Every structure is written in structure tokens, then in C-alpha cells.
Structure 1
């Protein structure tokens, strides 16, 4: 019996990873906060239980504000590599703690051209983000919601979460896959070019043109009849292109 306890304890410590052994026996601690400053970036990668709030503010670009259990804050890494800010939660011993905590990160930036969301990270924008071309790769289990203004946005979503976009852009392009969905009903676009591979409905809003491909049972719903063209190029699924 003593050997069983010893082996179980050893596996617990080793399972937490090198240099994080105290993580498994440390409590969450009280709510805390800290502020960091990082180098210039135009891309953001975020993952694993981080709630990210985006703030476009050139004067404060590079400032990152973190809030959450004080014993976990130091395990949130904020590293810039090749112009990409990588936000990662290095806490590896959630299985010995309650999951009832929040790691909130507010990021100030000047420009953004790529956003990658993984695991169960959540992303929101505080205000409207001005863009030239923004690529969004949404592979997480949690939803994201952004307000945009500018030229072009591209969305690739997988897994099972929703991407919500509002504002005004010239062109929306995207591919919506697995069991994710896109709500861009409040994003006014001149043109929308969308591939739908999902069984869920997607909603769009194009004033000039729609170019749609449907490969699954999810409908593509649009707000108003476009003035120039409405093309359903592929329809191999049972989903329909129709006005909401």
C-alpha cells in the first residue's frame, strides 16, 4: 500500500512537467494582476483557458494586462516571435485543482493582420478594430466576437465554436468547417465569398455580391438581396442559400 501511494505521488509530480512540480501542490491564490510590455507584433496566437480582450490603441501598443489567480499568472507566457504574440497558459496541473477560475488578458496593439485561436480560448474586441486584411484561424471550442472596419477579413473556423463578426468591411472570405458556424449578419460587406462545410447555419450580409459553396446540411442565410450577383457555385449538401 505504501508503495502504491509513493508511485502515485511520483507520477503526479512527474506529470506536471519539469520545473513545474510546485504547480501541482500550489493553490490558485487570491485574485491578482500584472502588466507586461512586449515588442512590436501584428499577429496574435492564443490558447488554453485564456480570455483575450483586444484593444486597438497605438499609444499603448505592446502593453499586456493580466488578471487571474495570482499563483497562475506567471505561468501565462507572453512571447513575441517573428512578429507574432504568443499567449499560452503553461499551467499543467488543472486536474488536481478546480477548473473554476479565469485568466483574463487585455492586449493593446497598433495593427493586427492575423489571429489564431486554439483550445478553449475566448476572444473579444473592446471597440472596433480597423484592418487592411485580417486572417482569422478559429480552431477553438470557445466563441469569438469581433467588431471590424476596413478592407478584407478571411475566416477559417474548425471544431465546434461560433465566430461572430460585426461592423463594416469591403470583402468577407471564409471556409467554415466541422461543426463550427459564422454569424456575420451584422457585418456589412460589399462582397461575401464563403465555403460552408458545416451542418450549422451561417449568416452573412452582402450589398453587392454573394459567391457561396455549400457542402453540408447547414444553410447560408443572407440579409438583403445583393445588387450585382448571387452565385451558388457548389451545392453538394442539403443546405440552402436563402434570405433570412
Structure 2
């Protein structure tokens, strides 16, 4: 009987110690998170304007950011959102590359940054990169000789309208959806993983396509298509172009629609 009582006392002591440790840890977490914006909420809506240098050649959008891009007579960015969220939008230069990132740690809260908007104003756009999970809208028609659109491990959406001689779209290791319209003499594309390109409203003379994607590609071509298919994604084309199959190692098909 005495042994059982001693064992019970030992068990009660262990339980109390564990309970005290748990309470102590909980208090520490509460105190340390007291200043965390996740506990404050997003705050009142503000608009912050940041001037940008003239040396920008390209820009890169990362993380969960919805960005609208406009052509302008000067380079600057407007960030609209909660006062506790806006400071965590990083706008930095790396050489001639403008980097836009969302360093907000409260993305696990569904509505924390849902009203966050980034408006980017640039004097010229000839190339950009996207590895984010938001929506990138190029709001003005891009009228340049050559345009490069590149994504690496992105999982969002890109929308743009162009009037160009050549446009290259390279989507690697992600699931980006690109919607492009307008005019282009030559369209060159490279897709992997499950990315898609919808260019049905892009009037193109010649198109070069290399796809390793499970997603489909839609094009509108008048003269010729050079196609390499390595996966299950189809190439759907409108028009009556000459078809040159350079490689066909996947089950994807060229389909006239």
C-alpha cells in the first residue's frame, strides 16, 4: 500500500511539472506573439508609394502577390492593403532586377492579405519573371520588338496583351497559366510540368513549341508550327499552318480546332 501511495505521489509530481512547463511555454508564446501582426489583424487600409530607380531592366514577382503592371513616364510602385501588412511587401533591387516579394508570415489566415494590391508603374517592359502564386496582370499593351516572359516554379496566372515581333514564353517546373492576346510575328514557347498557355487570341505567323507539360497549349497560327511534344499535353491550333514535327515522344497531339 505504501509503495502504491509513493508511486501515485511520484506520478502526481510528474504531471504537475509537465503542466507547469506547458503553461510556461504557452505564456512565452503569448508574450512573444503579442506584437506579431497576425495577432493584430491587417489594420486600416493604406496606400504606400515607393519610388524606383531608372535602372530597371526586368522585374520578378514572387510569393502570393497580385500585381497589376502599367506603362508610365516614371518608375514607382503603389502598395495598397492593411497598415500591418503593407510593410511586409519587399521591393528591392538586385543589380538591374526589381524584386517584389511578400514577406508576410500570416498567409495561413485566409483573409489577412486578401485586400493586398500591388500596382507597378514602369517606363518600359521587355522582360519579366514570375515565380509567384498570385495573379500578374500587364494592364497596357506591350509594343516592343522582343519580349521575354519567364517563370520558374510559379503556380499563378499571367495575363497580357502584346504587339511584338517576337515573344518567348518559358514556363519551367511549375503550374502557371498564361493568357496572351494581340499580335506577334513569331511565338516561341517552352512548357514543363503542368503549365498551360492560352494564345488563341494572339495572331501569330510562326510558332515554335516545345512542351514537356501535362497541360495543353492553344495557338492561332497562319503560316507554320514547329512542334516538339514530350508529354501528354496537347497543342491545339487555329488556322491552316504548315506543321513540322521535330520530336514526338509523348502522347500529346496536334489538334486543329
TM-score by length of 1: 0.87
Instruction: Extract unaligned runs of 5+ from structure 2.
Output: 1-18
Query: Would you say 1:7 and 2:22 are equivalent positions?
Result: no
- Preserved CA contact (<8 Å) 1:134 1:154: yes
* Aligned ranges 1:120-139 → 2 under 5 Å: 120-138=133-151, 139=153
Matched residues in 1 for 2:87 and 2:159: separation? 27
Which one of the candidate residues 131, 136, 140 is aligned to 2:154?
A: 140
Give 5+ residue unaligned stretches, structure 1: none
TM-score, normalised to structure 2, is 0.83
For 2:146, what is the secondary structure of its paired residue? strand
Does residue 88 (structure 1) correspond to residue 101 (structure 2)? The answer is: yes
Aligned length: 236
Counterpart mapping for 1:1-244 below 5 A? 1-7=19-25, 10=28, 22-40=36-54, 41-57=56-72, 59=73, 61-95=74-108, 98-99=111-112, 101-138=114-151, 139-157=153-171, 158-226=173-241, 229-244=242-257
* Structure 1 stretch displaced more, 128-137 or 42-51: 128-137
- SS of 1:141's equivalent in the other structure is coil
Q: How far off is 1:121 after superposition? A: 2.5
Give the CA deviation at 1:100. Answer: 5.8
Query: Is the 2:82–2:113 contact (alpha carbons within 8 Å) kept by the matching residues of 1?
Result: no
SS across alignment from 1:154:
strand
Give yes or no for contact 1:49–1:103 (8 Å, CA) kept in 2. Answer: no
The answer to whether the 8 Å contact 1:135/1:155 transfers is yes
Q: How far is the alpha carbon of 1:102 from its aligned partner?
A: 2.9
Which of the two has higher C-alpha Rg?
2
Cα distance, 1:9 vs. partner? 6.0
Q: Find the aligned partners of 1:101 and 1:3 in 2 and give their Cα distance.
A: 37
Offset of 1:150 from its aligned partner? 1.2
